[in-house]
Chains A and B, each alone.
Chain A
Amino acid sequence: MKTFFAKQYILFFITFISLVSCDGDDKPITDTDPISETAIVAALRVTTPGGRVYYMGAYSEIPDELDFTDMVELGSSATINSFEENPYVWNGISSTLTKYEVADNLEIKVLDVLSFVSTGLSGGFGLPTFVSDTKAYFFALSEGKVIEFNPTTMKITETINVDVLDLSGDSDINTHTYSNIVTADGTVILPIGSYPDGAPDKFPQYAELAVFDPTTKTVSYVRDTRMSMGYDTYAKGNDGSFYYRPSKNTAIAEDYSTLTGYPTTGGLLKIQEDGTFDPDFFVDLKEVLNAHSVNSVVYVHDSKALVQYMDASFIPPTNPDDWYSEPTSFALVDLNAKTFEPFTTFEQHGTVYTVGQMDGVEYYGNLGDSSSGQYSVLKQNGPTDFEIVSEAIGGSLIYIGKLR
């Protein structure tokens, strides 16, 4: 009888496994949402216990809550962008650009995947540059390559050899590009930034742009020695102008550098349509603010730049790792009058950054409110007028765009 029981156990066990093994697949999503004529796409960066994970959702309007649990999980490496009616996600680890479609019922579907593996280039973050329905680019300037692809057919059309970005191969400096400006004639302008934190004395003592001419398929590099190297992203003016802005990467290098006599690290330059710096425009924000250093310029609105900076009383901590957690200040600098006024609106929101523009209105995300840790979606109604339009659940909004 006992033997029988033991056999029964094994039989039960095997049957159980078989049943579990034959278990049906998860049911497909059945979406019964009504048809939506408008569609916006929003992406969150959620810091999970397993690291950063990116999520993307589609909505008919900005909801009161952007909840990542109802979004599409994109993984730990994702740069989200949209062009025309399609969201695009660049995964630097798998070296793929995925094109999504947002259906009328706002359901997100994968439309196509373009792999850059055959080019031998992969990794990191960098936004694709969309010039038209049929022409877009990826810039791998450290390898002297520009990859041209067709965003409609999602096929690589050409790999263009160009001049290599200076100092990009030096791991102590790592000059690089990230975002881009496409001018009316299709010229692509890429601000150049660097990461000189490993060798502070090596920070480049010039501002630099990479300019890609699609007709000659060449990249030229434009330098300006009125300021030291800034960010790989630009500050946008509400009049459509673009500014080369100072970078905290250089500001921290300056604090631990032994160099003297270099151009200011806290300057602001205007980028012109032809890919040059405006020779008649330069503001030394550091001097205007009498700041210890300037970390960034968030935006320019009606000739007033919102500047994040360390005030003159700041003493760099012994360990550079502590530098990033030091408190910063905000001020609105009048770029014409060279005066400034304190700006406190962002204090409650912590670090604030632009995430996209819809219907001519700029939207901002934050890294978490200083007191509650809440993640907010801010809509800019004026130079100093910001409105919380949504709460992002679980993480920061990093992209928002209108598809239709």
Chain B
Amino acid sequence: MRFHCIVFLLLFHTCILFAQNKTTISGTVLDEFDMPIANVHIKIEGISLGAITDANGTFKMENISEGAYKVIASFVGYKTQIQTIKVQANQKIKLSFSLQQDFQELEESVVIGESIKRKKEKTAQAVRVVDVKTAKLKTADLGDVIAQSEGVSLRKSGGLGSKAKFSLNGLTGNQIRFFMDGIPLKFNGYTFGVATVPVNLIDRVEIYKGVVPIQFGADALGGAVNLVSPKIYSGFSGSFSYQTGSFGTHRAAIRLNYLNKNTGLFFKGVSFYDYAKNNYKVDVEVADQEGQLIEVTVPRFHDAYKGYGIDFTIGVKNRPWARELSLKGFYTDYTKEIQHNNLMTGIPYGEVISFGKSIGTILTYRKTFDKIVLDAVFGYNHGERQFVDESTCVYDWFGNCILTKIVPGEIGSVLSSSSGASNQYTWNDNLFSRINVSWKPKEDHAINVTLAPTYTKQTGDEIYTDTFDALNARRNLFTWINGIEYNIDDLDGVFKNSFFIKNYVQHIASKENIPPNNDVEVIKRKVNYFGFGNGLNYRITTQFSTKLTYEYATRLPQSDELFGDGQFTLGNLDLKPERSHNVNLEFLFRKAPDYTSSNWQIHSNIFLRKVDDLILFVPSADRTNIYQNVFKANSTGVEISGKWSSKSDRLVFSANSTYQNFYNNSQEGLFEAFYRDRIPNTPYFFANGTATYSFNGIFKNNDKLSLFYNTRYINQFFRSWESAGLVAFKKEIPKQQLHGLGSTYTCKINNVKYAMTTEIQNITNEKNFDFLGVQKPGRAFYIKLITQF
């Protein structure tokens, strides 16, 4: 009893002493980019007093008695920093911490992502950042990861390697531009699209909606998606991942980095290998010998995908004459079997196959001159695509050759005539440059200038044609996009504004062969457009901020749209650029950061896209897809996302939903009949939800087990114009709700981090479809192993 009394008295005394002392310690915690870090733990060693930084990275502690102390700033994902101070009575001490990222923190790197995510999202740009670091541990491909964001829907026609088309606030396909580290994705070798990029080779995904920064040198209409590679840190580092599971899927990716801090010499090596048999079961109708249809469930038999690639970068960093000088080389190779037509109707294909190869190099030079930062990138790549359809066999859905035809070629054969076999090559040569110059005349003001010329040459050959061959045409496309931007970051980050002007120039020169004698007709066209935009971010309180962004955007037709892709899409040299007014109004509510209790945030975005001369992908069942300038279209909608996390993030819920009305707004010509109709093949309401619960210290102090659940809902939508025809006979893509479940165990052994994930996708085996009604994989099991060092 006496002991308890003494303790009580001591504590009471201490309280009185603190109450009498007016000494305060305050300060800020910034990251290596001088951006504030929230939720940093500030602790005074030896006494039980601490604080958490707020959204501005500031903290404050009061009533500290005289003496010498060590103040510790710690935050997961960052190296802990300690400062020693001497406190005198009634003193006001200001501290400043600058935390460096700790790359070794694998299991906590989610929080690193949060920091960069916050930093990006607090700019005046219409950007959302997808946390790929969590996704790296899971088995979903990058396409599905991106599709879990609000406003994003993905049309993927099947399993790994299948065609994937993104829709962002209604706009889709080439209206969304994809980049890797600011360079167009296809110029990095990923010619099969973003869904085939291994998740483990990137760090985060930035999604720019409607308003695209000039730094990309892009003419995107609907937005841009930028994949950001991990940074290089001193010494050796790297990671390896391997995933296997249903449908004969094997995915391996390895990344090795080295940086010598003294010499600045560095190299990066990245390699991946993907294979999927894609033999998931689908429900199809087969006919008996009398022509009666029977519904059967069969595995797909000719849908395998194989992709591999390597890229290697060598250079120097942080030298007086260059912040970075590097040379990258890459090679990628893809093979994809094709099982059926776009609608998955009729007779399947058993031997149709497409190939893609890309080889290229990128030279990067970055230098800081006092207040000027120069980023210059130059690149060249060569791409080859091949399409082979020369079988004389006709296959049934069981994989049997049921007929040997006289006329070869599975696609395009018709009952009473045939277009014959096909073995087509298409070759592309691309030269490009991205030059960004940034000048900061004042601390809070910056002027950026971007020059982005791209030159593309395309030709091809149909092996089976010995007379007129449209692929022989020599097409040249020169695109030059320039931009200038003025940024203000004022009032201590309360107000941020970015105004920019873009200039779009495109020259098309095509030497078209004309039948019968392959005479050459030269077609030339030039266009020159200007656009502009503005982004405003205003933080009303620490918990509530709003963002208004606008761009009058122009998108120039791409080489595949103008010249065709030599595989599935015909060329259309008459395509005009499409233009759009894009507006986003965002609101962000966030609970004041509190490390000792739960946290939440809600984000909403109201958007408008008003497009003229929309370039629409007009699908066909076979190989005669084409892009056409068609009509005016509007897309309006709202996105809402929310996140709640319990104390110490043990339980996390997140959800988002999007409602969009993307409709024809033209009353001219063909489109008058569909005035105010929703654009077909486009979902208008969809939502995602995830829940994660984590257990710490299961077997060891530093291990962690996370259980996660995710769901995705897509409302039903029509495959054709909604007002056309009786509803009872219209093809409708039914509503779909998918569920996934999994667990991830992470641990650290001898400074090497390991993670293992087991996951069941589509656990209820729900029938799900792409935008055209093609059935996608059912229930699937995957296991993934990751190590990072």
Contacts and interface: CB of A to CB of B under 8 A. Distances in A.
A125 B369 CA distance: 68
A376 interface: no
B669 A373 contact: yes
Interface string B104-121: 000000000000000000
A93 B724 contact: no
A49 B724 contact: no
A38 interface: no
Contacts of A29: 726-728
Interface residues of A, number: 94
Given A53-B724, A115-B293, A123-B412, A3 B287 contact: no
Contact of A319 (B407, B514, B711, B726): B514
Interface string A3-41: 101110110011011001101001011000000000000
Contact of A50 (B403, B464, B720): B720
Interface stretch (B242-250, B354-362, B472-480, B616-624): B616-624
A200 B516 contact: yes
Given A122-B346, A169-B407, A72 B729 contact: yes
A55 to B, nearest CB: 6
Given A17-B737, A156-B290, A168-B417, A48 B670 contact: yes
B418 interface: yes
A316 to B, nearest CB: 11
A164 B406 contact: yes
Nearest to B734: A25
Contact of B630 (A28, A49, A175): A49
A73 B725 contact: yes
B604 to A, nearest CB: 11
A201 interface: yes
Contacts of B725: 55, 68-73
A199 B468 contact: yes
Interface stretch (B122-130, B551-559, B595-603): B595-603
24 contacts: A2-B591, A9-B602, A10-B655, A13-B642, A16-B657, A29-B727, A47-B670, A48-B720, A49-B630, A50-B681, A53-B721, A55-B724, A69-B725, A71-B726, A93-B621, A95-B346, A118-B289, A126-B416, A138-B415, A144-B406, A171-B419, A198-B465, A199-B515, A394-B724
A67 to B, nearest CB: 9
Interface string B414-445: 11111110000000000000000000000000
Interface in A165-206: 168-172, 174-178, 195, 197-202
Q: List the 9 closest A-B pairs by CB distance, nearest first.
A: A124-B414, A120-B403, A73-B725, A176-B417, A6-B600, A120-B394, A171-B420, A115-B287, A123-B414
Given A71-B726, A169-B407, A3 B346 contact: no
A138 B465 CA distance: 30
Which of A120, A157, A197, A394 is most buried by chain B, counting CB atoms within 10 A of its CB? A120
B521 A319 contact: yes
A113 interface: yes
A72 B725 CA distance: 5
Contacts of B415: 92, 121-124, 126, 138-140
A267 B153 CA distance: 57
B540 interface: no
Given A73-B730, A169-B406, A49 B516 contact: no
B345 A94 contact: yes
Interface string B397-409: 0000011011100
A53 B396 CA distance: 27
A76 B681 CA distance: 14
Interface in B721-748: 721, 723-731, 735, 737
B715 interface: yes
B291 A53 contact: no
A393 interface: yes
Contacts of B643: 6
A175 B417 contact: yes
B285 interface: yes
A133 interface: no
Contacts of B412: 123
Contact of B418 (A16, A125, A169, A393): A169
Interface in B501-547: 512, 514-517, 519, 521
Contact of B347 (A9, A73, A122): A122
A382 interface: no
B391 to A, nearest CB: 12
B750 interface: no
Contacts of A116: 287, 291
Given A48-B674, A50-B618, A117 B664 contact: no
A364 interface: no
Given A48-B670, A177-B416, A13 B687 contact: yes
